[in-house]
Amino acid sequence: MTTSPLPLGGEGGPQPALSRGGAGRVRGAPLLLADLAPPSSFTPRRSNLTRLDNKVAIVTGAASGIGAGIAERFQEAGAAVVLFDINSEGVLSMERKLRQTGQALAITGDVSREEDAKGAVEQAVRTFGGLDIVVNNAGIELAGTVVQMTSSDWDRQINVNLKSVFLFSKYAIPHLRGRRGAILNISSVHAFASYEGTAAYDASKAGILGLTRAMALDHGREGIRVNAICPGYIDTPMLVSPGSTQSDAAAAMQQIVSVHRLGRIGTPRDVADAALFLVSDSASFISGSVLVVDGAMTVAGH
């Protein structure tokens, strides 16, 4: 592996890529760290750091659960929010709700379809004049071991959960440049702790962490930060197994609560508060990171 160290060379040496001081610096004068400071578009003003005023955010999977919680929280913090979901009734209902207090736009589409992702980014930019934040949250969980699962279920799981992150990021990144843009990917504790019968889901969530790191590296010099959240059990419709009876569900919930050291499962708001921090200027030096939001569930050694 080769690395290219930042050139701090003296007189006559190459100037660092991010140097502001180059032209104005007296020949032969020592190079100060301040000369290496990034352009001002990289450095936030130090006021109202966790506000999102004048920012435009796309949240995928915003009709329900964690995505709806994040959209609501971002709007409270001042953002115009683009709500993207395959559930058109649900996303329109969220739009009606959020329009009572701020700016919101519902777009119906499938996160795994390239034309839908591209179209959503273009519509967000056309409607609100730019784009600052993308939260790749939409996801599904298909059960099965690799033997039980069909290859079309595998493709669907990977396309909805992982290819979608690639697609939305691909079309959003050109708009995020120069705006202190942020991408936040919703992974899961399944990315690093496996559970029986969720092979493809676990693979999709681990893949999201790899992609988060790669994009943070590839686009950091453009001032774009990329992070991920790994939620534990969060109280959303995804937690309810289709066809389970009320008493099954109550027993399952009791078991789930018992593995959380904080004595409860998470809420969409718990994830939304962490999301707001990570996309805001409060986290302006945090990129390529993974924040676990799981009430200490996965730290247990047994």
Q: Is 98 in the site for ligand NAD (CB under 6 A)?
A: no
Nearest distance, CB of residue 109 and ligand NAD, angstroms: 6
What spatial distance separates the first Cα and last Cα of the chain, rounded to whole Å?
37
CA angle centred on 128, ends 71 and 162, rounded to 5°: 50
Q: Which of 56, 81, 86, 216 binds ligand NAD (CB under 6 A)?
A: 86
Q: Which of 111, 117, 121, 276 binds ligand NAD (CB under 6 A)?
A: 111
Which positions from 241 through 300 interact with ligand NAD, judged by CB under 6 A? none
Q: Which of 66, 133, 172, 278 binds ligand NAD (CB under 6 A)?
A: 66
Q: Which of 107, 138, 167, 176 binds ligand NAD (CB under 6 A)?
A: 138
Kindly tell me which of 139 and 223 has the beta carbon lying closer to ligand NAD: 139
195 included as an active-site residue: no
Among residues 171, 195, 201, 233, the one annotated as catalytic is 201
Q: Which of 31, 52, 57, 63 binds ligand NAD (CB under 6 A)?
A: 63
Q: Is 67 in the site for ligand NAD (CB under 6 A)?
A: yes
Give the whole-angstrom CA distance, residue 89 versus residue 216: 34
Q: Which residues are paired to 198 by β-bridges?
A: 144
Q: Whats the size of the chain, residue-wise?
A: 302
- In the complex, the residues that contact ligand NAD under the rule CB under 6 A are 60-61, 63-67, 85-87, 90, 110-112, 137-140, 160, 186, 188, 231, 233-234, 236-239
Which of the residues are catalytic? 201
